[in-house]
Structure 1
Amino acid sequence: MAESRGRVVAAATDGACSGNPGPGGWAALLRYEDGSVEEFGGHDGATTNNRMELKAALELLQRLSDLPRHPDLTLRTDSKYLIDGLGSWMKGWKRKGWKTAAGKPVLNQDLWQALDQARLTDVPLTYVKGHSGDPDNDRVDQIAVAYSRGLQPSLRQPGDGPAAAAASTSKVQSKAEPASAPEEAAPAPLVGLLSRLELADRLATGGYSLSLIELAQLVEQPLRQLESRSEPWRWRDWLVEPIGTDRWRLYRSEAGSEQT
Structure 2
Amino acid sequence: MPDSAKIQSIYTDGACSGNPGPGGWGVVVYFTDGSRQELGGGAAATTNNRMEMQAAIAALEFLATAKQSEPISLYTDSEYVKNGVTKWVAGWKKKGWKTAQGKAVLNQDLWQTLDELNSKQVEWRYVRGHAGDVGNERCDAIARSFSLSRPIALKQRSPQTANSKNSIEPELALVANTPSGLPTTATSESDTTDIASTNAVQQSSVNLAELSTMDVTMTDSIAPAPLENLDNLPREVRVAQLRNLIETLRISDEIAKQGYLISSSELADLMDVNASAVTSRGDNWVWRNWVVSRVRREGNQILWQLERVD
TM tier, shorter chain? 0.5 to 0.7
Alpha-carbon distance between aligned partners in 2 of 1:74 and 1:105, rounded to the nearest angstrom? 30
Q: Check the 8 A contact 1:41/1:143 in 2, yes or no.
A: yes
Q: Does 1:117 align with 2:128?
A: no
Partner of 2:208: 173
- In the alignment, structure 1 segments of 5+ residues that lack a partner are 180-260
Q: CA deviation at 1:72?
A: 4.9
What letter is aligned with 2:62?
A: R
One-letter code aligned to 1:138: E
| 2:152 corresponds to | 153
Partner of 1:143: 142
* Cα offset, 1:91, TM superposition: 1.0
Moved over 2 A (4+): 68-72, 159-165, 168-172, 174-179
Q: How far is 1:92 from its partner?
A: 1.0
Between the aligned partners of 1:178 and 1:84, the Cα distance in structure 2 is: 31
**In the aligned structure 2, how far is the partner of 1:81 from the partner of 1:172?**
29
2:69–2:121 contact (8 Å) kept in structure 1: no
Q: Distance between the aligned counterparts of 1:135 and 1:34, measured in 2? A: 17
Task: Summarize deviations over 1:156-177 as a string: whole Å, max 9, x none.
Answer: 0114756967xx9994325536
**For residues 17 and 102 of structure 1, what CA distance do their matches in structure 2 show?**
28
How many Å separate the matches in 1 of 2:13 and 2:127? 11
Q: Mapping of 1:86-235 within 5 angstroms? A: 86-159=85-158, 171-174=206-209, 176=211
Matches within 5 A, 1:24-103: 24-69=23-68, 71-103=70-102
How many residue pairs align between the two structures? 176
Q: Secondary structure at the match of 1:97?
A: coil
How many Å apart are 1:71 and its aligned residue?
Answer: 3.6
For residue 143 of structure 2, give the secondary structure of its aligned residue in structure 1. helix
- The residue type equivalent to 1:153 in the other structure is I
How many Å separate the matches in 2 of 1:38 and 1:63? 10
Cα distance in 1, alignment partners of residues 76 and 82 from structure 2: 8
Residue by residue, what CA displacement relative to the aligned partner does 1:59-110 show, whole Å, maximum 9, x if unpaired? 1101101215474521001000001101111111111110001110000000
Report SS of the residue matched to 1:74: strand
Q: Structure 2: give runs of 5+ residues left out of the alignment.
A: 162-167, 173-202, 215-310
Deviation digits for residues 178-201 of structure 1 (CA, Å, limit 9, x no counterpart): 69xxxxxxxxxxxxxxxxxxxxxx
Structure 1: distance between partners of 2:213 and 2:84 = 36
TM-score of the aligned structures, taking structure 2 as reference length = 0.52
- Assess if the C-alpha contact under 8 Å between 1:83 and 1:127 holds in 2: yes
* 1:111-142 Cα deviation digits (max 9, x unpaired): 00011111122111100000111110110001
Deviation for aligned residue 1:151: 0.8
Contact 2:71-2:123 at 8 Å conserved across structures: no
CA RMSD of the aligned region, Å?
2.5
Partner amino acid, structure 2, of 1:54:
M
Structure 1 position 46, deviation (Å): 0.3
| Structure with greater helix share of residues | 1
Counterpart of 1:147, as a letter, is F
Q: Evaluate the alpha carbon distance shift between residue 120 and residue 170 of structure 1 in structure 2; reply closer, same or farther with a 3 A threshold.
A: farther
Q: AA paired with 1:25? A: G
* Bigger radius of gyration: 2
- Return the letter of the residue paired with 1:172: N
Give me the whole-angstrom Cα distance separating, in 2, the residues matched to 1:28 and 1:83. 15
Cα distance change, pair 94–34 in 1 and its aligned pair in 2 (3 A): same
Q: Are 1:9 and 1:31, in contact at CA under 8 Å, matched by a contact in 2?
A: yes
Distance in 1 (alpha carbons) for counterparts of 2:127 and 2:47 = 21
| Code of the aligned partner of 1:176 | L
